[in-house]
Amino acid sequence: MEDFQIGSYELLVIIPAKFTEEEIQPILQNIKNLIQKENGTIILEESLGRRRFAYKVGEFFHGYYFLFRFELLKNTLKTIDHALHLNADVLRYQIIKTKKITKEEIEKEKTLQMKRQEELLKKETNAKDKTGEKTPTKILTPKIPVQEPLSTIPKKEEAGKLTLEELDKKLDEILDQGEKGL
């Protein structure tokens, strides 16, 4: 019975950049028709633009990214997955299950993101130092705990030459401390 429940899904499709934007439209229409043929309801269709890949995929360095949010019966998802797998015009795709979301919630989320971006831009333009030049925006980095303060490490001048036995002792102490810390 669980197979006949409606689920919400997100589909990310990458189409190779060998196609022009006009040639992409029929490919996208085929994907939409595929979802609708399986009685799916497309909630959102969004173009994420042309992007460079982190590494060469097949023979391509760039691709067009498209995002679809849709609702579909759980038992028909495999049909869409199989059809996308066989589609030569789709370079890569990924389908994930998402929480149910309405168009209004999507629009609200987008407006919040736009407001955040505008606030960041305002902060950057308002952040001027006394010379009138822009000051760089602070980047928050996580603080990494240092095991031993640098002031306790002896300098080369302070550290006399150690014998082999003294080095072995110090090494054993360091290794013992490391095991206790684990």
In sequence order, the 6+-apart residues with CB closer than 8 A to the CB of 79 are 38
Q: How confident is the model at residue 52 (pLDDT cuts 50, 70, 90)?
A: very high
Is 90's pLDDT higher than 80? yes
Percent of the chain with pLDDT over 70: 77
Report if pTM > 0.85. no
Average pLDDT over residues 66-83: 92
Instruction: Note the pLDDT tens digit of each residue in 119-170.
Output: 877 877 776 544 555 555 555 444 444 444 444 445 555 556 778 888 888 8
CB 90 within 8 A of CB 27: yes
By DSSP bridging, strand 60-73 and strand 41-57 are antiparallel
In sequence order, the 6+-apart residues with CB closer than 8 A to the CB of 32 are 42, 45, 68
Q: What is the CATH number of domain 2-102?
A: 3.30.70.60
Which comes out higher in pLDDT, residue 113 or 32?
A: 32
Is 115's pLDDT higher than 80? yes
In this predicted structure, what is the pLDDT of residue 144? 44
Q: How confident is the model at residue 94 (pLDDT cuts 50, 70, 90)?
A: very high
The whole-chain average pLDDT of the chain stands at 80
In this predicted structure, what is the pLDDT of residue 127? 64
Phi, psi (degrees; rounded to nearest 5) at 61? -110, -15
Q: How confident is the model at residue 110 (pLDDT cuts 50, 70, 90)?
A: confident
Which of 16, 11, 72, 17 shows the shortest CA–CA distance to 44? 11
Domain spans, the chain: 2-102
Q: Is 39 helix (H, G, I), strand (E, B) or coil?
A: coil
